């Protein structure tokens, strides 16, 4: 089922999401719906708060293969890259954001197994973006000033 994506201004986007205690059918159905919603919206990632669920679940489109991460936690970050990002919850806006080039993170899969993962490049950026959603952080909160020189009006 395609879900409504919550937009900037919705209070759920600004609160820290709750840890998933049990991966049951409800969680698996939510993940299925999140993947369907992400694909329908042409997104590369989606976090549960974006569809109105305050749970620590993200889905990412990895090489045309959607994958879910439950209770993701970034353990290590390395390097720094500045690039533009958009967000399904902040439509029509792209802002420059500094992100780690490489990350190591852990998360549970849909069977409840905790695994460690390495990611780099775009995938690392998407995961960091989605984990931000779980912390109540939006791209506008992370935006980097494009220039320190501004014309005074």
Active site residues: 130
Q: Please list the residues that pair with 103 across neighbouring strands.
A: 77, 119
Per the annotation, does 111 bind a ligand? Answer: no
d(CA 70, CA 21): 10
CA-CA-CA-CA torsion sign (41, 48, 145, 125): negative
Where do we find the tokens 């973006």?
Answer: 129
d(CA 30, CA 85): 25
Q: Please list the residues that pair with 68 across neighbouring strands.
A: 59
Per the annotation, does 121 bind a ligand? Answer: no
Closest CA to 69 of 24, 130, 122: 130
Where do we find the tokens 């992370």?
Answer: 142
Per the annotation, does 87 bind a ligand? Answer: yes
d(CA 40, CA 73): 27
Q: Which two tokens stand for residue 12?
A: 């759920």
Return binding residues: 87, 129, 133
List, as residue ranges, the binding site for Fe cation.
87, 129, 133
């Amino acid at each position: 089922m395609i879900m409504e994506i919550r937009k900037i201004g919705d209070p759920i986007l600004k609160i820290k999401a709750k840890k998933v205690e049990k991966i049951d059918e409800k969680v698996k159905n939510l993940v299925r719906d999140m993947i369907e919603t992400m694909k329908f919206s042409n997104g590369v990632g989606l976090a549960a708060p974006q569809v109105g669920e305050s749970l620590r679940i993200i889905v990412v489109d990895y090489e045309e293969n959607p994958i879910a991460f439950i209770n993701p936690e970034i353990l290590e970050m390395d390097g720094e890259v500045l690039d533009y990002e958009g967000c399904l919850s902040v439509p029509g806006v792209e802002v420059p954001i500094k992100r780690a080039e490489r990350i190591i993170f852990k998360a549970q899969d849909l069977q409840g197994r905790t695994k460690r993962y390495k990611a780099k490049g775009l995938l690392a950026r998407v995961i960091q973006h989605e984990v931000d959603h779980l912390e109540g952080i939006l791209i506008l909160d992370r935006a980097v000033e494009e220039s320190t020189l501004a014309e005074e009006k």
